[in-house]
Amino acid sequence: MQTEYTSFIETLLTNSTEIKVNRDEYLIREGEIENYVYFIKSGAIRVFLLNEFEELTIRFGYANSLINSLTSFLKATPSEFYIQAIRSSTIAKISRKTFFEIINKNEAYKNLYYQILEDLITQQIEREIDLLTFSPSERFNRVAARSPQLFQEIPLKYIASYLRMTPETLTRIRNS
């Protein structure tokens, strides 16, 4: 599968436009329609939404990962999310039209796309379970075990938001 994934990414990159995104710059804002899949070549990105009290981080992306506002992308409806660069980033963006042309022409890529979606759904369910059933320290431990790279790539204030705790609580748990 790794060879197919590499080939898939290479095909996407061949059909992409490379952009540089500065820290705090947005790829998409709430209310806009997502027209791209983004492959992060370098840097770090966060996906978040706003409620009346705070920003709620729901996902991160860093080098060699794909990211977008998935529901908006699939349904061509306004995004509920903001996607923002945490650090200066180099990103390859692939249009919806091009993306689906690529996967529809190649059965292996289509199967890989479904596998990526299944993995994403599984990750989201694990995250929901973490948030609904585990204490803050257990959430920290589970995320650290699943994604150790997260703590090298993402500032603690965003990880705290992702884990639904204050930065102070995260620091205390991390130091204990």
Has residue 41 been placed in a domain? yes
What's the pLDDT score for residue 52? 87
Q: Is residue 73 part of a domain?
A: yes
Whether residue 122 has pLDDT greater than 70: yes
Q: What backbone phi and psi angles, to 5 degrees, belong to 62?
A: -145, -175
Answer yes or no: is 156 within a domain. Answer: no
Question: Would you say residue 159 lies in a domain?
Answer: no
pLDDT given for residue 1 in this prediction: 58
pTM equals: 0.92
Tell me how far CA of residue 72 lies from CA of 29, 33, 66, in angstroms: 11, 6, 15
pLDDT digits (tens, 9 = 90+) for 8-31: 999 999 999 999 999 999 999 999
When divided into structural domains, the chain yields a total of 1
Task: Answer whether residue 89 shows pLDDT above 80.
Answer: yes
Give tens-digit pLDDT for 154-163. 999 999 999 9
Question: If DSSP states are collapsed to H, E and C, what string results for 85-148?
Answer: ECCCEEEEEEEHHHHHHHHHHCHHHHHHHHHHHHHHHHHHHHHHHHHHHCCHHHHHHHHHHHCC
Flag whether 134 is in a domain.
Answer: no
pLDDT at residue 176, rounded to an integer: 87
Determine, yes or no, domain membership for 111. Answer: no
66 φ, ψ (degrees, to nearest 5): -95, 145
Is residue 92 a part of any domain in this protein? yes
Strand partners, 42: 90
Residue 91 lies in a domain: yes
- CATH number, domain with residue 34: 2.60.120.10
Cβ–Cβ < 8 Å for 173, 136: yes
Q: Which of 89, 43, 93, 98 is nearest to 68 (CA)?
A: 93
Domain assignment of residue 69, given as a range: 2-105
